[in-house]
Structure formats: C-alpha cells, structure tokens
Amino acid sequence: MRTPRAPSSLLIRLLIAYLLPTLALFALFGWLAHRAAERSLEESLGARLVGVAQVTASQLRPEAVLFLSPGDDDSRTAKRLRHKLEQVRQRTRVARIFLLDRNLRSRSDTDPAVKIGDRHYHAEADRTELRRLFRWGEGVSSVLFSGSRGQLYKTGYAPVLDGQRAVAAVGVDGSAEYFSVLARLRRALLLGGAGIALLVMLASVLVARRITRPLRALAREAARIGAGDLERPVEAQSRDEVGLLARTMNEMRQGLHERDTQMQMMLSGIAHEVRNPLGGIELFSGLLREELEESGDKEKLEHVVRIERELGHLKKVVADFLDYARRSKPTLARVNLAELIADLAELLSKDAAEREVELVAERSGPVWARCDTDQVRRVLLNLTRNALQATDPGGRVTLSCEGDAHDARCAVRDTGRGLEPEALEQIFKPFYTTREKGTGLGLAFVKKIVDEHGGTLEVESAPGEGTLFRVTLPAADDEG
C-alpha cells in the first residue's frame, strides 16, 4: 500500500483565516465556524477509524482470536496476531490498534505493555458503543478523549464476526491533530479586539465553507461505499489533510472491493461445483423412483420421494447462491408496473389456491418505472412468494402499485403472522432467515437489486398484523 504524501496547506489556511482577524466580533463568528469544522472533522475521522477497524477485522480469524488466553503472550499465535496488527497500524498511520473480547479483556495490542487478559479501562468508557457493536455487529466510534500528553484521540471499533455473532472487537486509536490546532486558534481568537464586523463575518463564513465542503463530500463518499458501491474511486481534490483522508478512504475502498470480488467468485464456484453432482443425483433418483413404482414397493418409494424433496430444496439453495453472487447491472427500460403485478398474480394463482390464500392485484391505471423488467419481476416474485408462505389459509395477499412524476411504487401486503421487531432489523442481511429451511439470501438479493436501481425497499410489520413491503423506483416519463 502506497503511503500518501504528508499534508500541510490546510493548517496554513486555518492559521491565516483565524489569526489575521483580531477584533472582538470575530470571536463569535469564528467560534461558530470552528464548531462546524470540528463536527465535520470528528465525523470524518470517526468514519476513517471505523473503516480501518473493519478492514483489520476482516483479516482476522475468529478461532485464532478466541484461542488466546492469559499467559499466551509469547506464543506463536499471539506474536503473529500482534505483528499483523502492527503492520496495519504502520500502513494506516494510526496511533494504536488493539483487540478486545466481549468482557473488554485484551486479546492483542500494538502497545507492548498490554498483556492478554488485561482490563482495557479506556474501553470501559465506551461500554455503550461496544454493547451496540456486540449486539448488532456494527462499527462504532467513541467520543474524543485526551491522551497522557493532552493530545486528543478518537477510537473506531469494528466487530470480528463468527458467522452472525460478534466474538471480539477491533479498536483503532487515531490522533485528532486537527482539533488541537483548532482549539489553540479558538483561544487566540477570543483575545482579539472589536471592529470590522462585516470582514470578520465574511471571512468566517468563507473559511467554514472551504473546510466543510470537501469533508461533507467525503462523508457522502463514505455513505456511498457503505451502501455497497465499491467500483467508483474516491477522488482527492487537494494535497492537504482532506486529500490524505480521501486517499486513505480510496485505499480502503479498493481493499473492500477486492475482498467482495473474491467472495463473489467463491460463492459462484461453490454453487457450480455443487450443481453438477446434483444433476446426476436427481437423474438416478428419478430412475429409482420409476423402478420402485413398477415394483410397487411403496415403503422404499416414500424414501425416494423424500430424497427428491430434499434435492429440490438443495437446488434452490444453489440457485440462491448463484443469484446473489452474480452482479449483473440492470438494463433500464420503460416498464408498466401495473401489467407486471397483474402477470405475477396470474402466475402465482395456482400457488395461492394450493395454500387457500386469496391473491389480488389492485391497479387503477398504468404506472411507468425506469427499471430492468426481469430484475424487478424477480423482486416482486420473491416478495409475493414470501407473503404467500407467511399467510395462513383464509388470508389475503394484495399487490398494488401507484406513482407520480418522480417515483413509481409497488407494494406487497399480506395478512400473515407478521415479524418481530428484532427480525425487522435483520431481514435484509445476507444469510439471515426465520425459516427452518432457507438460505437467508432472498431478501438480501431483493434489496441489492432495488439499491442498484437507485430505489428504496421499506418494510412495515408487527406480530399478528401482517407485513407490508414497499418498493420505490425512479419513474419513467411518457417518452421513456
């Protein structure tokens, strides 16, 4: 990883902007600009540290972390883990990287004075954030804190996941040098005299915008990366600290993109390797079933039927893995969603009848969306089948659509059992499922398709009150 060139010009701009005005009114307007910059810098620094922690956590094996115990500091595993953390620390130029278990005990640390099993008292102050990390498996950052020499620091945390469970947390301490500089400048400005109010106000507003505009742009880039868009690079517009942050974020994006690509290849490869022998098993089980039907051995025939049923489930699992692994870009066209839901209602009418569920498509006129017909059809097909499976006999599943000049919306509503609040927060995550036999990729795949169309997927549900899924897509004008 190439180390970016050291920044300098942002500090010079801050010194010029905040030290030249010496009048009393500058204290007010300068303080307001300072606070805006401080908040933006803190958010950006927290996002960067969490990103470094997430990349570090992705490189750790949970079994190696859990294997360590007090007294293992000189073991090969402990040394290798500490060396890996130190390499990441040097590449990313952070102050410290450490590893904690769920009891906030050290498992590894780039600080050689910290031993395995030591209590991490600094993490105690972040207990609320860490509780959210271990519960939901999401990255968090701490508030600013002062080090032993009075320098400001901030910590970003990311979970080390064992399946869906967070078994440890990676912490990354980063120096908040920006805030120390801004604090000294603020104290100097407060001593300034009164006068030239208009000049002071104008300088403060211009400097605040100059500082916060690129930082807000980086915040938008971070949100884009967090949403899964890893292909478009983050462009550095300057050679100062903001440019350094942009280049570091771009290196993080490249690492995440490479890991995501490798995971797609792995999923696709596994699915293909499983699919080939499945075809042979299905062929021979069919021949065996025909022979048993002719011989009239009903007991053995039941076993074959069960085998074929499980084969069908396994084929669906393989298909789900392949669908999720593929990243085909949508081919946009002008699509009438009203016709699409009517076709789906007709297609699934037999399934609804078998489950004794009423399936209705409500439409009052054409609703035009700009989307990929096949992909959106798969979205609505998946949601409707889920609704049918969640609805008891005698219930009702309703498909509807509406639109305006900006958005085209489809809704799938059922009168089924509904979802618990905990499930609502997890259902779009890959491999999460509430069914006994399910891959947990269906809704994750649905959300991926909707996101790639620039749309939104919302869900409303409560136990015993049914569930509503709402898909919002960009509308298409009359000409398409």
- Give pLDDT tens digits for 365-419: 888 999 988 888 988 988 998 889 888 899 999 999 998 888 999 999 999 888 8
Phi-psi region at 115: left, alpha or beta (left = phi > 0; alpha = psi -120 to 50): beta
> Is 183 part of any domain?
yes
Look at 447 and 275; give whichever has higher pLDDT. Answer: 447
Residues 31 and 99 reside in one and the same domain: yes
Domain limit, last residue, from 327, 362, 378: 327
More confident residue, 170 or 44: 170
Number of helices and strands (H, E) in the chain? 15, 13
Residues 175 and 89 in one domain: yes
pLDDT above 60: residue 131: yes
Summarize pLDDT for 72-82 with one digit per residue, the tens.
Answer: 888 888 899 99
- Note whether 220 and 110 are same-domain residues: yes
Q: Is residue 1 part of a domain?
A: no
Distance CA 159, CA 166 (A): 6
| Contact call for residues 375 and 330 (beta carbons, < 8 A) | yes
**How would residue 192 be classed by pLDDT, with cut points 50, 70 and 90?**
low
Same domain, residue pair 450 and 354: yes
- Alpha carbon 330 to its chain centroid, in Å, reads 21
229: DSSP letter: -
CA distance 167 to 152: 29
User: What pLDDT shows up at residue 223?
Assistant: 73
Pick the residue with more confidence: 174 or 477?
174
Q: Which of 134-148, 170-184, 188-202, 387-401 has the lowest mean pLDDT?
A: 188-202
Tell me, yes or no, whether 4 lies in a domain.
no
On whether the CB atoms of residues 251 and 1 are closer than 8 A, the answer is: yes
Can you give the length of the chain in residues?
480
| Whether the predicted pLDDT of 103 surpasses 70 | yes
83 burial type by CB count under 10 A (0-12 exposed, 13-18 middle, 19+ buried): exposed
Kindly tell me if the per-residue pLDDT of 32 is higher than 70: no
Where among 227, 247, 281 does a domain terminate?
227
Q: What is the mean pLDDT of the chain?
A: 78
User: How far, in Å, CA of 188 to CA of 303, rounded?
Assistant: 84
Tokens of 73: 């500091």
Coil, strand, or helix at residue 60?
A: coil
CB 116 within 8 A of CB 133: no
Q: How many domains does the structure of the chain reveal?
A: 3
Residue 271: inside a domain? yes
Same structural domain for residues 296 and 157?
no
CA-derived radius of gyration, the chain:
28
Same domain (yes/no): 44, 151 = yes
pLDDT band at 3 (very low <50, low <70, confident <90, very high): very low
Residue 432 confidence (pLDDT) above 70? no
How confident is the model at residue 154, as a pLDDT?
85
User: Residue 311 pLDDT more than 80?
Assistant: no
Look at the block and give the residue holding tokens 């909707």.
450
Q: Is the pLDDT assigned to residue 98 strictly greater than 90?
A: yes
Confidence band of 436 (pLDDT split at 50, 70, 90)? low
Residues 292 and 404 in one domain: no
How far apart are the C-alpha atoms of 438 and 390, rounded to whole Å? 13
Whether residues 109 and 39 fall in one domain: yes
User: 225-282, pLDDT tens digit by residue?
Assistant: 766 666 677 777 777 777 777 788 778 877 777 777 776 677 666 666 676 777 777 7
pLDDT tier at 8, thresholds 50, 70, 90: very low
Q: How would residue 196 be classed by pLDDT, with cut points 50, 70 and 90? A: low
CA distance 6 to 274: 51
Judge whether 3 lies within some domain.
Answer: no
CA distance 79 to 3: 25
Q: What pLDDT score was predicted for residue 60?
A: 87
pLDDT of 10: 46
Same domain, yes or no: 193 and 239: no
Q: Are 9 and 214 in contact (CB under 8 A)?
A: no
- Give whole-number Cα distances, 264 to 253, 314, 322, in Å: 16, 19, 9
pLDDT of residue 5: 44
pLDDT number for residue 4: 42
CA distance 306 to 302: 6
Cα–Cα dist 337/410, whole Å: 7
Q: What is the pLDDT of residue 444?
A: 77
Helix or strand (DSSP H, E) at 178 = helix 177-190
Output the domain CATH number for residue 378.
3.30.565.10
Q: What are phi and psi of 367, to 5 degrees?
A: -125, 110
Is residue 480 situated within a structural domain? no
Domain of 67: which CATH number?
3.30.450.20
Q: Is the pLDDT of residue 471 over 90?
A: yes
271-277: which pairs have CB atoms within 8 A and are 24 or more residues apart?
271/318, 271/319, 271/321, 271/322, 271/325, 272/322, 274/314, 274/318, 275/315, 275/318, 275/322
Domain boundary among 181, 197, 227: 227
Tell me the residue range of the domain where 77 lies. 9-227
* 479 within some domain: no
User: Rounded to an integer, what distance in angstroms lies between the CA atom of residue 376 and that of residue 331?
Assistant: 11
* Residue 365 DSSP code: S
Whether residues 217 and 290 share a domain: the answer is no
% of the chain residues with pLDDT over 90: 15
Q: Are 9 and 237 in contact (CB under 8 A)?
A: no
321 and 338 share one domain: no
Task: For residues 462-467, give the mean pLDDT.
Answer: 86
| pTM (two decimals) | 0.43
Position 403 scores a pLDDT of 85
Neighbouring C-beta atoms of residue 62, cutoff 10 Å = 17
